[in-house]
Amino acid sequence: MKGLGLEREEGRLVLRDFDDPRVLPLSVDFLSPTLLHRLRHGLNKSQPMARALGLRGSAAPFVFDATAGLGVDAFIMAAYGCRVRAFERSPEVFQLLEDGYQRLRAHEGDERLSEIASRLSFEHGNAVEILRALPPSDAPDIVYLDPMYPEEGRSKSALPKKGMQMFRRLIGEDQDVNELLAAARAAARERVVVKRPLYAAQGDGVAHSFEGKTARFDMYLRGR
């Protein structure tokens, strides 16, 4: 993690690039104006992620998010009404998540945010191992995966912003995606959803793909 480190700044934990002060620090902020705007104006069940998760009417499945990252997708799934158990294996990213989650829980006066927080949990660990060891009574309806994808194939105009490049430097590539997908498919009661960039090759066994503007959500059904 050369040049990168965590520090406390204005009441929050941030990941900073100490080699390049121009790079904006990264933090987990469930109360950011962008996320709150998305929550209030940009969520509906016709969106690709919701369709891939099979969310219709009042369906509120139990989702195991095996690649929590900065927690945005977990938060959105909880906002859709899902109960979300999210895992992150990087100790630094997990600290950022815990910090953001504590600030979400401490926020008062917004019942919807309190409900979302109560449906979410973040844990530190390698999801491959956790999924393999899950007793049937804890099996999720859905396993959701959003692994770090190799850069090759990405167009120059779609290069990630500097903050995300820093995140990529911290995490690298997720090399064990195949093991993770196999463990997810063995553990999920109903389906597995994998978020992939649009330039990613089509994988085997995908029952249906739901395309968004920057990513697609590949859905695998149990037992197929």
Q: At its nearest, how many Å lie between ligand SAM and the CB of residue 87? A: 5
Q: Of 116 and 171, which CB lies nearer to ligand SAM in the complex structure?
A: 171
Q: At its nearest, how many Å lie between ligand SAM and the CB of residue 131? A: 8
Residue 32, helix vs strand vs coil: coil
Asked whether position 93 contacts ligand SAM by CB under 6 A, the answer is yes
Q: At its nearest, how many Å lie between ligand SAM and the CB of residue 166? A: 12
Do residues 46 and 35 make contact, with C-beta atoms less than 8 angstroms apart? no
- Orientation of helix 111-119 relative to helix 91-106, angle to 10°: 140
Cα separations in angstroms, 80 against 53, 61, 124, 146? 10, 10, 23, 18
Q: Of 87 and 220, which CB lies nearer to ligand SAM in the complex structure?
A: 87
Asked whether position 92 contacts ligand SAM by CB under 6 A, the answer is no
Q: At its nearest, how many Å lie between ligand SAM and the CB of residue 201? A: 18
Instruction: Note every long-range contact of 100-104, with CB atoms under 8 Å and residues 24 or more positions apart, other chains counting.
Output: 100/12, 100/27, 100/28, 100/29, 100/30, 100/70, 100/71, 101/28, 101/30, 101/71, 103/11, 103/12, 103/29, 103/30, 103/31, 104/30, 104/31
**CA nearest to 183, candidates 218, 135, 133, 148:** 133
Residues 122-161 that bind ligand SAM (CB under 6 A): 126-128, 146-148
Choose one: 15-23, 52-60, 66-74, 107-115; the region binding ligand SAM (CB under 6 A).
Answer: 66-74
Binding ligand SAM by CB under 6 A: which of 26, 72, 120, 142? 72
Asked whether position 66 contacts ligand SAM by CB under 6 A, the answer is yes
Do residues 167 and 200 make contact, with C-beta atoms less than 8 angstroms apart? no
Asked whether position 218 contacts ligand SAM by CB under 6 A, the answer is no
Q: Of 61 and 69, which CB lies nearer to ligand SAM in the complex structure?
A: 69
Do residues 142 and 63 make contact, with C-beta atoms less than 8 angstroms apart? yes
The interface mask with ligand SAM, positions 15-54, x = CB under 6 A, is ----------------------------------------
Do residues 184 and 131 make contact, with C-beta atoms less than 8 angstroms apart? yes
Beta bridge partners, 9, equal 12
Binding ligand SAM by CB under 6 A: which of 15, 26, 52, 70? 70
Residue the block writes with tokens 């390049």: 20
Where does this chain bind ligand SAM (CB under 6 A)?
A: 66-67, 69-73, 87-90, 93, 126-128, 146-148, 171, 174, 180
